[in-house]
Amino acid sequence: MTQAPPFLGVGRSARDFVWRERLTTAQAQTASAIAQRHGLPELLGRVLAARGTTLETVEDALDPTLKNLMPDPDTMRDMDRGAKRLADAIEKGEAIAVFGDYDVDGATSSALMSRFIGSHGLEARIYIPDRIFEGYGPNAAAIESLVVEGAQLIVTVDCGTTSHDALKVAVERDVDVIIVDHHLAGEDLPGVHAVINPNRQDDVSGLGHLCAAGVTYMLLVATQRELRARGAYEGGKTAPDLLELLDLVALGTVCDVVPLQGLNRAFVSKGLKVMHHRKNTGLRTLSDVAGLNAAPTAYHLGFIIGPRINAGGRIGDAGLGARLLAGDDEIEARRISELLERLNGERKALETEMLEDANVRAELMIEEDPDLPILIVGGEKFHKGVVGLVASRLTDRFRRPSCVIAWEDNDQGTGSLRSINGVDIGSAVQKAVAEGLLIKGGGHAMAAGLTVARDRLDDLTRFMSAELDDSATRMRSEAELKLDGALTPGSVTPELIDLLERAGPYGNSNPQPRFAFPAHRVRFAKVVGEAHIRCVLEASDGKRLDAIAFRAVGTPMGDLLLGSSGMPLHVAGNVRRDNWGGRSRIEVQIADVADPRR
C-alpha cells in the first residue's frame, strides 16, 4: 500500500519526525458514517474513527461505562481465591496489612484497599517501603515486621509478583498473602494464597492493560459480591459505595500511563466525575494547596496531582501519598498536602540539576554513536528517587529507550528505564535478570526498574544494546507525528474545545487530538519558568492564539521558536482550555515545529 505524502510536506521536523495525517483512508469512510448515523459533527467523527472507534462502539467511546466495559472480576486468575480470603478476614475481624509501592499507582491501590476494609469497621495497616533504603517491592525485614506486629493477612498492591524470597517469610509463619499486581510475571510465581495479576502468563482475562489500582478495584468488587452472598450486609448493614472510590482508580490509571482504552477509559471518565464532587479529603486538600480550582481533567491528574503525591516517595516519606488518600482528618490532610507541595518543589530543582548532567552525557554518547539503541547513563550524585523522571526526559528528547542509574557506595546502582512505543523494555529487563546480569529487575513494556552491580554495567550495556537494536532502530526511523488536521486561531473556539472533550478522556493509546497550524508567524517568543517557551501564533488574517512549548529551551524545537524572528513556521500541537490559577484561556501546547522552507 502506497503511503500518503507527509502532512504539509514535513519530512523532517525540528524533532526529527515525519508529519502524517492520523486518519487513514478506511478510517475516513468510517468517520463519515459515524457522523451521519449518530448525528455528530464531522470533526468529532474523524477524531473518534482515528482512535479505532467503529460504528458499533461510538456509544462506549462517548460515554464509557463500567456496566458495559467491566467484565466479571473472576475472569482473572486467582480472583475468586483472593476475594474469598479477603472476605474471610473481614468477617472474622483479622488484622490485615497492606504492602504497597511508593508511586501513585501504589498509593491509590493502598488507599483503595484501606478504605474498603475501613468501611467494614476494621483498620488496615499500610506499609510503604522507603524507595532509598528498601527499594521496590516486599523485602524480608519488612514482611517479618508485619508478621511480628500481628498481621494475619498481607495484601501486596502494585508489587509482589517477583518477591519470592520476601513473601516466603510470611508463608513460613502461616500468614496468608494475596498479591494484587500488574507487572510482567515470569513462569514461576510466589507460593502464596493468591496471585491476582492479569499479566501472569496463565491469565487469559485480556485485562493486562489495567494498572494496579484497576486490579485492586476489581478485587474489591469481587470481595463485596462474596460478602453480600454471605449475608454480610443484611440486618441494616450498608455495603460501601464502590463508585465513590473511582476517583482513586482514575488517578492511578492516568499516572501509571496505562492505555486509556476499554475499561480504563470508563475508570477515568467516571472517576473524574467523582473527583469533581471533592469527597476524598486528601484529594480535595491537595488540589487546593496546588491551586487547582477547576473541574479536574486527566491532564490535572497526570501533571498536577500525580507529581505531588509521587514527591513523597521520591525524596521524602514514601508513605505520605497513601496516608493522604486513605485518611479523612482535615488537619492531617492539610499538613501532608503542604509537605508534599514543598517536596515537589525540591524534586523539581533536583530533577533540573540531574537532567543537565544526564543530557551532557547522552549528547556525547550519541555523538560517538548516532545509532545507539539505548542510552544508559549513571551518576555518583544522582538521586534514586528521581532517576525515572530523568530517564523519561531523555527518552522524550532523544527518542530512544533510556536508563538512568544512581550509583551507591556499595558499588550497586538503582536504575529506572523508559521506552518508546514499539520497544518492549520490560521484556529486555526480564531477560537480563535471567542472564544473571542484574541483581533484580522488572517492569512492563514502557517502564522498568533494575538494580545492577557496577562491575556488570558493561555487560548489561552490551546485552541491552543487542536486545533492543532492531526494534529501537526501526521505531526511530519510522518515527511519525500524527495529526488530526489543520486549524487556524480563528477556528479555535470554546465550542471546538467542548466538541473535542466529548471524545476524551485522552491519554496513552487514546491520544489528545493534535493539529497543525500551517505557516503561522511566531510572535513574542520568550523563555518562562524553568525551561519553557511561551509565544503567540499569528495567522495571515492577523488572528492570534497563545501557545506554550514545555521544556523546549536548549532543544532544536526551542531554538527554532526563539530564532524565528517572525518568519512563518508550521506548528503542531493540541489545543486546550487552561484554567490554571483561576484564569481561563485557550492555548496551543506545542508538540513540534517545522520550517516551511525546508
pLDDT at 49 over 80: yes
Average pLDDT over residues 297-324: 93
CATH of domain 7-22+484-594: 2.40.50.460
User: What confidence tens digit (pLDDT) does each residue in 17-41 have?
Assistant: 999 999 999 999 999 999 999 999 9
Per-residue pLDDT at 273: 97
Q: What is the DSSP string of 353-412?
A: HHHHHHHHHHHHHHHH-TT-S-EEEEETT--GGGHHHHHHHHHHHHSS-EEEEEE-TTSE
Per-residue pLDDT at 581: 56
Q: Cell numbers at residue 310, please?
A: 509521587
pLDDT at 338 over 90: yes
Per-residue pLDDT at 580: 60
Per-residue pLDDT at 409: 85
Per-residue pLDDT at 314: 86
Per-residue pLDDT at 2: 59
Give which of 544, 570, 574 is closest to 557, Cα–Cα: 570
**Residue 192 DSSP symbol:** S
SS3 11: coil
Q: Backbone dihedral region of 524: left (phi > 0), alpha (psi from -120 to 50 degrees) or beta? A: left
Query: Contacts from 581-584 at CB under 8 Å and sequence distance 24+?
Result: 581/291, 582/291, 582/293, 582/294, 584/294
Percent of the chain with pLDDT over 90: 87
Average pLDDT over residues 191-208: 97
Give the confidence band of 582 by pLDDT, cuts at 50, 70, 90: low
Q: Which fold has domain 72-342?
A: inorganic pyrophosphatase (n-terminal core) (3.90.1640)
pLDDT at 561 over 60: yes
Average pLDDT over residues 164-188: 95
Q: What is the DSSP string of 474-500?
A: HHHHT-EEEE--B--GGG--HHHHHHH
Domain with CATH 2.40.50.460 in the chain: 7-22+484-594
Per-residue pLDDT at 442: 85
How far apart are alpha carbons 398 and 268 in whole angstroms? 30
Give the confidence band of 578 by pLDDT, cuts at 50, 70, 90: confident
pTM: 0.90
Q: Which of 407-411, 541-545, 569-573 has the lowest mean pLDDT?
A: 407-411
Per-residue pLDDT at 402: 97
pLDDT at 549 over 60: yes
Q: Cell numbers at residue 300, please?
A: 490535572
Q: Which CATH class is domain 369-477?
A: alpha beta
Domain with CATH 3.90.1640.30 in the chain: 72-342
Amino acid at 60: D
Per-residue pLDDT at 558: 96
Q: Backbone dihedral region of 99: left (phi > 0), alpha (psi from -120 to 50 degrees) or beta? A: beta
Give which of 532, 533, 597, 546 is closest to 575, Cα–Cα: 546
Per-residue pLDDT at 350: 93
**Residue 304 DSSP symbol:** I
Give the confidence band of 530 by pLDDT, cuts at 50, 70, 90: confident
Amino acid at 93: G
pLDDT at 3 over 80: no
pLDDT at 1 over 60: no
Strands 532-538 and 544-549: antiparallel
User: What confidence tens digit (pLDDT) does each residue in 211-268 have?
Assistant: 999 999 999 999 999 999 999 999 888 999 999 999 999 999 999 989 999 999 999 9
Average pLDDT over residues 162-186: 95
